[in-house]
Structure 1
Amino acid sequence: MSELAAKRSAVKPTAQSLFLVFRIGNQRYALQAIEVAEVLPRLPLKPIARAPAWVAGVFAYRGAVVPVIDLSALTFGEPAQARTSTRLVLVNYRPVDSAEAQLLGLILEQATDTLRCDPADFQPYGLDNRQAPYLGPVREDVQGLLQWVRVADLLDDQVRALLFPSPPLSPALLEEQR
Structure 2
Amino acid sequence: MALSIASPGKATVSSPSQYLTFELGDEMFAVGTLNVREIIEYGPITSVPLLPPSIRGVINLRGAAVPVLDLGVRFRGERTVQTSRTCFVILEVQANAGGKPVGIIVDAVSEVLEIADQDIEPSLNFGTDVRADFLLGIGKLESGFVLLLDIGRVLSLEQVDVLATLDPLLPSTA
TM-score range, shorter chain: 0.7 to 0.9
CA offset at residue 122 of structure 1? 1.4
Whichever structure has more strand as a proportion of its residues is: 2
Question: 1:44 touches 1:59 (CA, 8 Å); kept in 2?
Answer: yes
Q: How many residues matched?
A: 161
CA offset at residue 78 of structure 1? 1.6
SS at match of 2:133: coil
Bigger CA drift: 128-137 or 77-86? 128-137
Q: In 1, distance between residues paired with 2:100 and 2:95? A: 9
Other-structure match for 1:101: 99
Q: In 2, distance between residues paired with 1:121 and 1:78? A: 31
Q: In 2, distance between residues paired with 1:137 and 1:103? A: 23
Q: Please state if 1:44 is matched with 2:44.
A: yes
1:6-60 deviation per Cα after TM superposition (whole angstroms, max 9, x unaligned): xxxxxx9851222111112111110111110010001101112122222111123
TM-score (norm 1): 0.77
Q: In 2, distance between residues paired with 1:62 and 1:162? A: 21
Other-structure match for 1:19: 19
Question: 2:88 touches 2:105 (CA, 8 Å); kept in 1?
Answer: yes
Return closer, same or farther for 1:114/1:131 CA change in 2, 3 Å cut-off.
closer
Identity of aligned residues (%): 21
TM-score (norm 2): 0.79
Structure 2 unaligned residues grouped into runs of 5+: 1-11
Q: Please state if 1:127 is matched with 2:145.
A: no
Amino acid at match of 1:104: V
Q: In 1, distance between residues paired with 2:119 and 2:90? A: 25
1:1-178 to 2 correspondence within 5 Å? 15-94=15-94, 100-127=98-125, 133-165=133-165, 168-169=167-168, 173-175=171-173
Question: 1:65 touches 1:169 (CA, 8 Å); kept in 2?
Answer: no
CA RMSD in angstroms comes to 2.8
